[in-house]
Structure 1
Amino acid sequence: MNRPPNPTKEDFPWWLLVLVATGLCLFWQVATDEIYSQVLTTLAKGIWITIFVTVIGFSMACVLGLGLAVASQSRLQVLRQIARLYVEVVRGIPIIVLLLYVAFVVAPAVVYAWNWLTAPLGLGAWQTRDFPLIWRAIIALTIAYSAFLSEIFRAGLLSVEKGQIEAAMSLGLNRWQRFRLVVFPQAFRTILPPLGNDFVAMVKDSSLVSVLGVSDITQLGKVTAAGNFRYFETYNVVALIYLTMTITLSLLLRRLEHRLRSKSEG
């Protein structure tokens, strides 16, 4: 029977060398080929949209997810049940369906409710088209990812030993102080790896906003390919941009986790 390799010894990252070599070849083509250069220039406009959607959506999802996690541990059964209902419903809906639902069902309903509430005040009516598609997409991603992040936060909060909480109580700390000074700092080390994985996943899932016509990398890639019929070159650049972003983030997060682990062991 063949024995598995020693798990304590890290393998040399040959996969990374292959990716770097492939990426360098593509970058060389982008730098020397006129078609690739034109495609990259066009798609570069969508990189900032992708970053904006990802950062804002993930930040909002973290806040909402943390609130849901705290609510799921509340002493009030009503809050626990509401949090569980939210998580189970949202996790059962595909993200692309949620995007379409928020964009074409929730957004018009919000506009209608706003106009109904502000009509007695004499304010001008708000049109559905005044609700930017990019913010509809961000809200949908926030709702979708908050359900997943709430489970990550909940698991991290539960990982803190009860003895730590009891020690904080004996020092006279109130609930907020116990959470801020004792519970969350310890839970963060457990939360960080899956949190980072979900951030990288949102970078990729942000491409779904192209179904709403938001001018991110994927949408600009579709428009560019439909205009120049250079599908091979265009989608090579699209894939290269996403790979560069996700692999760079993954390596940075892995480095951060290693540093935090070293500090905790030291």
Structure 2
Amino acid sequence: MGARMMPWRRVAVLPALLLLAGCGGNWGWHVVNPADPRGQANLRFMVDGLWATVSLSVAAMAVSLALGLAVALAGFARWRVLRWFNRVWVELFRAVPILVMILWVFYGLPVVLDIRVGIFAAAVLAIAVCDSAFEAEILRGGIQSIERGQHEAAQALGLSAWQRYRFVVLPQAIRRVLPPIGNQLVYVVKMSSLASVIGYQELTRRANELVVTVFRPLEIYTILVVEYLALILLISWAVRRLERRLGADQRQAMPG
């Protein structure tokens, strides 16, 4: 057991190994050295992009969940046109790369619809639309996992179809799909880096701008990796806590 290193320890050791490896030769870790004034300024410039990354990811995830829920519910509708809409939406936007969608929304919408879209709005819309196809499938699976007896009991109480979904089906389905939704949030955070191609000042964009200023890509991108790693680990920890709080984490019920 002692020979095996815990995941958190491996994560902590990674930056230290990278820094130690760069102590010799022509490496320039001084550009991100917190004890150096220039290093402090560079680190501050990069960290300032953290709020942009978080705000973009949260906004895109919120819109994605709303769209995904609407698309998922359309798949259970009585009308064939809504079920057809569900399949077309999922298959279409699940196949389009997010980078392509970001470029199309930012440069294409002004031409096609004569609508000026800001950088933040374009990034949120593109990421949310692509991710909503995955959210719709996750929510559809959660809704289908609810036992038929739950539907029949709610119907026997005189609840309408909307009330059955709102008060009986969806609360249980969301608990069951919380782990995959948490994974999608991590995915959205990582995909937010693609917004740098249209000039959004998130973590990756700031790192790219700093690289062309100090000409130290290895050192700058190493700090960028550490920033994303810390952010993703924090999100994963928060999601697991929420799973346990809502009773979605079934590991406690497993033996041993």
Counterpart check, 1:187 vs 2:190:
no
Quick one: structure 1 residues 262 and 163, their matched pair in 2 at CA, closer, same or farther if it must change by over 3 Å? closer
Q: Deviations over 1:57-108 (max 9, x none)?
A: 1100100000000001111000000111011011111111111111111243
**Structure 2: how far apart are the matches of 1:260 and 1:182?**
15
Q: State the 1:179 CA deviation.
A: 0.9
Matched letter for residue 202 of structure 2: D
Aligned partner of 1:248 in structure 2 is 234
**Structure 2: how far apart are the matches of 1:13 and 1:77?**
54
**Structure 2: how far apart are the matches of 1:22 and 1:203?**
21
**Structure 2: how far apart are the matches of 1:146 and 1:107?**
23
Which stretch of structure 1 is more off in the superposition, 100-109 or 157-166?
Answer: 100-109
Unmatched 5+ residue regions in structure 2?
20-31
Aligned partner of 1:17 in structure 2 is 9
Aligned partner of 2:158 in structure 1 is 172
Quick one: structure 1 residues 137 and 200, their matched pair in 2 at CA, closer, same or farther if it must change by over 3 Å? same
**Structure 2: how far apart are the matches of 1:262 and 1:199?**
17
**Structure 1: how far apart are the matches of 2:244 and 2:5?**
16
> How many percent identity over aligned positions?
35
Instruction: Please say if residues 107 and 136 of structure 1, whose CA atoms lie closer than 8 Å, have aligned partners that are also in contact.
Output: no
TM-score where L is the length of structure 2:
0.85
Q: State the 1:181 CA deviation.
A: 1.0
Q: State the 1:151 CA deviation.
A: 0.4
Q: State the 1:48 CA deviation.
A: 1.2
Which stretch of structure 1 is more off in the superposition, 218-227 or 38-47?
Answer: 38-47
**Structure 1: how far apart are the matches of 2:154 and 2:188?**
36
Aligned partner of 1:73 in structure 2 is 76
Instruction: Please say if residues 68 and 134 of structure 2, whose CA atoms lie closer than 8 Å, have aligned partners that are also in contact.
Output: yes
Q: State the 1:209 CA deviation.
A: 0.4
Quick one: structure 1 residues 165 and 262, their matched pair in 2 at CA, closer, same or farther if it must change by over 3 Å? closer
**Structure 2: how far apart are the matches of 1:54 and 1:262?**
23
Aligned match of 1:199 in 185, 199, 209?
A: 185
Q: Deviations over 1:222-265 (max 9, x none)?
A: 01001110212211111111110001111221222233338988
**Structure 1: how far apart are the matches of 2:99 and 2:248?**
40
TM-score where L is the length of structure 1:
0.82
**Structure 2: how far apart are the matches of 1:192 and 1:223?**
36
Aligned residues: 237
Matched letter for residue 52 of structure 1: S
Give matches, 1:192-231, under 5 Å: 192-231=178-217
Q: Deviations over 1:41-61 (max 9, x none)?
A: 111221111111101111001
Aligned match of 2:95 in 88, 92, 97?
A: 92
Q: State the 1:30 CA deviation.
A: 4.6
Counterpart check, 1:54 vs 2:46:
no
Instruction: Please say if residues 156 and 191 of structure 1, whose CA atoms lie closer than 8 Å, have aligned partners that are also in contact.
Output: yes
Question: What is the DSSP-based 3-state SS (H/G/I as helix, E as strand, rest coil) of the residue aligned with 2:68?
Answer: helix
Counterpart check, 1:257 vs 2:243:
yes
Quick one: structure 1 residues 42 and 152, their matched pair in 2 at CA, closer, same or farther if it must change by over 3 Å? same
Instruction: Please say if residues 156 and 188 of structure 1, whose CA atoms lie closer than 8 Å, have aligned partners that are also in contact.
Output: yes
Instruction: Please say if residues 178 and 248 of structure 2, whose CA atoms lie closer than 8 Å, have aligned partners that are also in contact.
Output: no
Aligned partner of 1:42 in structure 2 is 45
Aligned partner of 2:125 in structure 1 is 139
Q: Deviations over 1:129-155 (max 9, x none)?
A: xx3122111110111111110001100
Q: CA RMSD in A?
A: 2.3
**Structure 1: how far apart are the matches of 2:5 and 2:104?**
42
Counterpart check, 1:109 vs 2:112:
yes
Unmatched 5+ residue regions in structure 1?
1-11, 113-127
Give the number of the structure with larger relative contact order, counting CA–CA contacts within 8 Å between residues 6 or more apart: 1
Instruction: Please say if residues 134 and 214 of structure 1, whose CA atoms lie closer than 8 Å, have aligned partners that are also in contact.
Output: yes
**Structure 2: how far apart are the matches of 1:150 and 1:33?**
49
